[in-house]
């Protein structure tokens, strides 16, 4: 009997030790939420792939420590004291957190306007911005010749389960925005402008510029009067000439030209996607900067500055570079000439818009954008830009370039110079109200 009991006791102890050993040996899956990626969870390998070995491991370890449950204390009076002190510490921390929350108050939200909000880019862009947690008020503006009345777009968007209040505004095609959009634009923090006409077959960039510069000027003129501190994200072709023209007009008016931002994010989005397809990596973790301008040869993806991009064979880079440059034409051809890149452009515009708003809210963001710049010998250039509480807070240097990228940079600058001069000439001959 005693022998049987001893055998059973020994077996029980051994089983517990085995279970403990298995628990210790079993791999633990640690995850961390990344707000910028929509709150999804990622594995340790994905952390390291995104941040790099050293930084990724450090962030992973920090996340693991934060998520680990507090250890129970054992061992006499000391443990008893720690156990008693724990509820007091928790209560103190809770009170501190409540006080901090009370001081900070409700989350600050911003007013956003989408000019051209009833168009092919404008509608999906409005939808995406209405879902941004930083947007408290969304204005959808368009002309009375739009295929869909902006009031209809606003009514549609007002039914989605997000907090943003949405309102539509319309003016006659012959009216001036500055005479009609006081209510719409007053108090705006961000104005996104997917406006203007698309380039027609046989039409030169100069011809397109003459038409769209007038459209852009009308909106910029109204913004200068009703929301002069707002960031203006221009999606008006040709961006390489329109942005310098509008920024110089702002400067002549005594306003901040850095508030005029050319939305070139789609080039980065495409480069990330294409690198992902070549390498088999998740595009969410790929960040290829695109510098220069926003058309044809002026688009220069810096594949060497992304870990996945840098892993691609050097002989494949020129073709991949060209693929990014020609991506817009591919979409136009795929749509049979009945449209251009509207959905992907809306996605890219919303990404930039969200970064601007996050910056205004005090959460620094970095995106590539076409802005007034002194990092090259050209007055306007696309590069990484820091968005903060005042909008554009810093234009970052280009960084190290590969041999291919250094050669292409000269080609970019040569082409871009002439397109910038077109915009500067327009600004010399015109003024805002």
* Closest residue by Cα to residue 363 from 88, 110, 7, 11: 110
Active site residues: 294
Q: For residue 193, which phi and psi values (nearest 5 degrees)?
A: -125, 80
* Closest residue by Cα to residue 188 from 215, 169, 208, 211: 169
Q: Tell me how far apart the alpha carbons of residues 356 and 293 are, in angstroms, rounded to a whole number.
A: 20
Q: Are strands 135-143 and 165-171 parallel, antiparallel or unpaired?
A: parallel
Q: Tell me how far apart the alpha carbons of residues 342 and 59 are, in angstroms, rounded to a whole number.
A: 37
Q: Tell me how far apart the alpha carbons of residues 228 and 245 are, in angstroms, rounded to a whole number.
A: 17
394 and 372 in contact (C-beta within 8 Å)? no
Cis peptide before 181 (omega within 30 of 0): no
Which segments of 68-196 does DSSP mark as H helices, in order?
76-104, 122-130, 150-157, 177-180, 182-185
CB burial of 207-232 (b: ≥16 within 10 Å; e: otherwise) equals ebbeebbebbbbbbbbbbbbbeebbb
Non-local CB neighbours of 360 within 8 Å, separated by 6+ positions: 110, 134, 189, 190, 231, 387, 388, 389, 391
Q: Tell me how far apart the alpha carbons of residues 340 and 24 are, in angstroms, rounded to a whole number.
A: 56
Other C-beta atoms closer than 10 Å to the C-beta of 41 total 12
251 and 257 in contact (C-beta within 8 Å)? yes
* Closest residue by Cα to residue 129 from 216, 188, 207, 202: 188
């Amino acid at each position: 009997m005693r022998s049987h009991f001893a055998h059973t006791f020994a077996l029980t102890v051994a089983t517990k030790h085995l279970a403990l050993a298995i628990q210790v040996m079993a791999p633990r899956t640690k995850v961390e939420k990344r707000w910028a990626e929509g709150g999804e969870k990622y594995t340790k390998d994905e952390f390291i792939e995104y941040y790099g070995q050293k930084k990724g491991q450090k962030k992973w370890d920090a996340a693991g420590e934060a998520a680990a449950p507090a250890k129970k204390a054992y061992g006499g009076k000391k443990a008893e004291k720690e156990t008693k002190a724990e509820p007091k510490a928790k209560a103190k921390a809770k009170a501190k957190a409540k006080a901090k929350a009370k001081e900070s108050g409700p989350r600050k939200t911003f007013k956003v306007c989408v000019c051209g909000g009833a168009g092919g880019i404008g509608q999906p862009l409005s939808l995406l911005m209405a879902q941004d947690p930083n947007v408290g008020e969304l204005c959808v503006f368009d002309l009375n010749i739009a295929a869909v009345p902006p009031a209809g777009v606003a009514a549609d968007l007002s039914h989605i389960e997000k907090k943003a209040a949405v309102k539509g505004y319309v003016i006659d095609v012959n009216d001036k925005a500055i005479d009609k959009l006081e209510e719409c634009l007053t108090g705006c923090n961000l104005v996104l402008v997917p406006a203007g006409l698309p380039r027609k077959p046989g039409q030169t960039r100069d011809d397109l510029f003459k038409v769209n510069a007038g459209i852009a000027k009308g909106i910029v003129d109204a913004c200068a009067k009703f929301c002069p501190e707002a960031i203006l994200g221009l999606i008006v072709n040709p961006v390489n000439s329109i942005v310098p023209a509008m920024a110089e007009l702002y400067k002549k008016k005594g306003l901040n030209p850095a508030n005029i931002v050319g939305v070139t994010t789609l080039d980065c989005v495409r480069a990330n996607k294409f690198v992902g397809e070549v390498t088999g990596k998740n595009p969410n973790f790929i960040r290829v900067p695109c510098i220069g301008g926003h058309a044809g040869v002026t688009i220069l993806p810096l594949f060497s500055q992304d870990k996945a991009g840098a892993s691609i064979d050097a002989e494949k880079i020129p073709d991949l570079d060209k693929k990014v440059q020609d991506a817009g034409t591919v979409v136009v051809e795929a749509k049979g000439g009945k449209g251009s890149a509207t959905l992907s452009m809306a996605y890219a515009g919303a990404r930039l818009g969200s970064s601007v708003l996050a910056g205004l809210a005090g959460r620094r963001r970095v995106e590539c954008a076409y802005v007034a710049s002194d990092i090259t010998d050209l007055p306007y250039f696309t590069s990484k830009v820091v968005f903060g509480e005042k909008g554009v807070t810093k234009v970052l240097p280009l960084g190290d370039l590969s041999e291919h990228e250094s050669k292409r940079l000269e080609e970019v600058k040569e082409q871009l110079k002439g397109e910038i001069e077109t915009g500067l000439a327009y600004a010399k001959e015109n003024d805002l109200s």
